[in-house]
Structure 1
Amino acid sequence: MQFKGTDNYVATDDLRMAVNAAITLERPLLIKGEPGTGKTMLAEEVAAGLGKKLLCWHIKSTTKAQQGLYEYDAVSRLRDSQLGEEKVHDIANYIKKGMLWQAFEADEQVVLLIDEIDKADIEFPNDLLVELDKMEFSVYETGEQVKAKHRPIIIITSNNEKELPDAFLRRCFFHYIQFPDRETMEEIVKVHYPDLQQELVKEALEIFFEVRTVNGLKKKPSTSELIDWLKLLMADNIPAEVLRDSESNNAVPLLHGALLKNEQDVHMLERLAFMTRRAQR
């Protein structure tokens, strides 16, 4: 079983090798990279490419590791006991299965995405060490032992917002998605917009990579923002010539709201353009 990429996702040789290495080693694949480089989409495309079901566990700052296993709804049970419900005598009726449990009990191997693990508390990864290693856990309330029928393919993403524990890292296969170069970016654009005029793509990429090279930007535009920008350019039927002229005459790119996400970066580009125009006089 080898992941070879899909028609909807441009995977580099290194990335395909990392996915297949993690599958062979039966270890979680830890993916890091800039926001917008396709980390979450990778799990979707691995599932599609291998013909497997995808389960997604999106992590928030309030998420606890226990929620990935199961949750016991004691409040509902108390309410039902006050109402005289029959089901209150079976505690299993109040156990809600988490994503790990669902992945473990699946009749066929699934792909499990644990998305943005670094959003959670620092202890969150350590709280899953045994479950990810042994692929089993106990349900305290019922005494049930849950063991994976088929070891899931686990893909974990991180935006590097905080350091992950060494014990957790040792159990993962790691890959950092480098920001795409110009050639790879052209392939990505072609996947999304195969009929887009090459001149427009050329001009747009020129502006996009120029913006990314500006020192001091709080947030450099990402791949997903480039795709959004191109979509706007297409919607407004803006030809390459207009884009080129706009860049030479204005401080910031046309429809820059798709690329720049805060006022500091807009002001910085305006100042740089002003200084450049003064130097050319």
Structure 2
Amino acid sequence: MRILWHITCLLLFHRTKLFIGFFIHGIVGGKVSAPHSRPYMVYIRDKISKVACGGFLVREDYVMTAAHCKQSHLMVYLGVSDKNFLPDGIEVDPIPHPKFTMKRTGHDIMLLKLKTQATLNKIVGTITLPNSENEGIAKDCMVMGWGWKKYHDESPSNSPSNVLKEANVTLIDSENCGTADTLCTEGSTGPAQGDSGGPLVCGGVAQGIMYFSKNKGNADHFTAYTHISHYIPWIQSIMPLDMPEMLDQVSRSV
């Protein structure tokens, strides 16, 4: 009986190691998000090409993401923690910024109009947007997504995460960043392939949209984000009636 008990313990220990190991993939250097702790996060995937991006819910009928994530048959999935258990997808009408082009950087922002409005609850919620272009931004921020676990690694061992992951990042000075409509972070942790369109969250506010990253000469990685506050007038032109009410509403819900 004692031998049988030891064998059982060893088997359980081995299975536990495998189970824990499953949860160490995703955003580079990040950790697994507590299930449904980021209710604004949206998984976006084209139902034909299967190309995937991240996004975030800003109102019951709108998701924000990167314009370069535009595909012909996009579906959004709300309240997702583990991609192995996707809810029914919602079809959308994509509205990319009119000045966006794949030929150059800038204006990489898109709104997705949901054809069926989201029902807000404990696992589906909205996130606050900036109030104005001059709003101060906290330097300590967070990124999240279901992307690859290594930067620019196309080996068979690298794959997207099934579970939502998050990582802490720090904004760098604007003079070392790029254009005026861009925010930047650098370091050994952060978003990778498959995380495009997800939010840069600073002080509980969605301040940026992930759109570009590159390796530096050292171990650090450089990531650029569309600076959302620069596009408040355009956002208001798409959602003209409820924008002030939305900002107040999401402030109370976060």
Q: Does TM, scored on the shorter chain, surpass 0.5?
A: no
**Larger gyration radius, structure 1 or structure 2:** 1
TM class by shorter chain equals under 0.3
Q: So what's the TM-score if we normalise by structure 2? A: 0.26
Question: Larger % of strand: which?
Answer: 2
Q: So what's the TM-score if we normalise by structure 1? A: 0.24
